[in-house]
A and B are shown apart, each in its own frame.
Chain A
């Protein structure tokens, strides 16, 4: 599914990540922790092909990203749903069209009236906000809209980068519930976070694997998590 083999990433003459090896099994739930600036976002970007490793190999669905063109990587990325902390949206389009964007870019039916889209908005609790513009949404609503957009293509993998960074505890629990639900549906989840409370709450509900980036390397987290 996602496989990293001795991956390193350098930028501006310095090595940010080094010798990273990981095989993400289908249906697993991973947390990625580490201090701010440790390279969690960079690691996730390597996992969905937004960045190219400067050494080693990244394989997405058994295809080495290094040998692929940008358009090929874009097509592969449709199998991976991504949720960012800052939830990037097209601010001039309403929530429904933003959520349906992955369908539109892949040439599928992106009609805002279609049943799947309505069900998805109901699932994340945004039915009443369907026609709102992204700047009109609260932090929690933006995160849920981003999650809806991430799963609309029914991807095999969902990567979330600090999804609870800008929302309160109650809202982060609601988001975690949705992620756990997706994992129970067989989706592979990887969440980068420094919110230890979120990790503990998840461990109480599903089997998780916690990884930590420390000194530019990927490690298994200790038993305290």
Chain B
């Protein structure tokens, strides 16, 4: 069936009398309602997963992309000298905005999650940490390592790249998987609605014959089926989405800095996507039924 915008508009127009010509079909009605319900429920979770993964990827990316750490692990008497030398090198390196040695309190704060807040840090041979803030373009890490080897041999540069990239890649892949799942859900929904519509149309071959006998156009006949299936899918999807939202609210919440699993919530613009699930489900059902009706009416001609 070719795309005819006027015919499509007529199909969307509510017509109680036209809808009555199709007898109520219990099995296909329940199948469409249930599949739309289940698929929308799953779509809410896939969407939440994708959005959460996206947030984590963005956060990790922005937090870690422009910072590095320099560690000075020198004998007690040389730490201050090497720290000064390292800071001099860093401040003259293109691509570095700021370099600052962490205070004892800051280092204590970093260790407190593991050792507690009353850690006797002065008695421990801890390395001195230097926090480096980069420009957007970043610096030449290989060149910097060579200069540091010459002027502050106890300095070890950690540009976070080693562990940052896989984390961001994983989060981005998780986001992609979420969208792929949504696409699969939409495709599976379309397939199920097409099957249900095919079954309904085939079961109503006699109805179609009667309608043709009295001068009904294919658009009129298709409309009666298409509207019914789209409405069922819309209803099922609305309930599925609602239940999905309720289920998401039952997932225990974590802090903002935790991972995907404890941040499985819908936030901000994400709600627009959630609200779009039922109408998109109805649209998928509309297109799938229209395709099925076009084919069956062609076969029955």
Binding site for B on A (CB under 8 A): 50, 70-71, 74-75, 77-78, 82, 84, 88-93, 97, 101-102, 104-106, 110, 149, 153
Contact = CB atoms under 8 A, between A and B. Distances in A.
A101 B217 contact: no
Nearest to B210: A88
A172 to B, nearest CB: 22
B139 interface: no
B23 A75 contact: no
A91 B210 CA distance: 10
A97 B212 contact: no
Given A70-B301, A71-B218, A105-B220, A93 B20 contact: yes
A104 B215 contact: no
Contacts, number: 60
B17 A88 contact: no
Nearest to A89: B210
Contacts of B206: 88
Nearest to A110: B17
Interface residues of B, number: 22
Interface string B1-34: 0000000000000000110110110000000000
Nearest to A97: B20
Given A71-B218, A75-B217, A82-B213, 7 more contacts: A74-B212, A88-B210, A90-B23, A93-B21, A105-B21, A105-B211, A105-B216
A100 to B, nearest CB: 9
Interface string B250-272: 00000000000000000000000
Nearest to B301: A70
A151 B220 CA distance: 21
Q: Which 5 A-B pairs have the closest CB atoms?
A: A78-B215, A105-B216, A71-B217, A92-B23, A102-B214
A101 B301 contact: no
A74 B209 contact: no
B231 interface: no
B65 interface: no
A60 to B, nearest CB: 12
Contacts of A78: 214-215
A225 to B, nearest CB: 29
10 contacts: A74-B217, A75-B215, A78-B215, A90-B21, A90-B207, A93-B21, A104-B18, A105-B21, A110-B17, A149-B214
Contacts of A97: 20
A77 B210 contact: no
Contacts of B207: 90
Contacts of A101: 21, 210-211, 214
Contacts of B24: 92
A142 B18 CA distance: 23
B107 interface: no
Contacts of A153: 215
A53 B18 CA distance: 31
B219 interface: yes
Contacts of B218: 70-71, 74
A92 B205 CA distance: 14
A88 B20 contact: no
A116 to B, nearest CB: 16
B23 A91 contact: yes
A11 B284 CA distance: 38
Nearest to B215: A78
Contacts of A102: 214-215
A224 to B, nearest CB: 34
Nearest to A102: B214
Nearest to B24: A92
A137 to B, nearest CB: 15
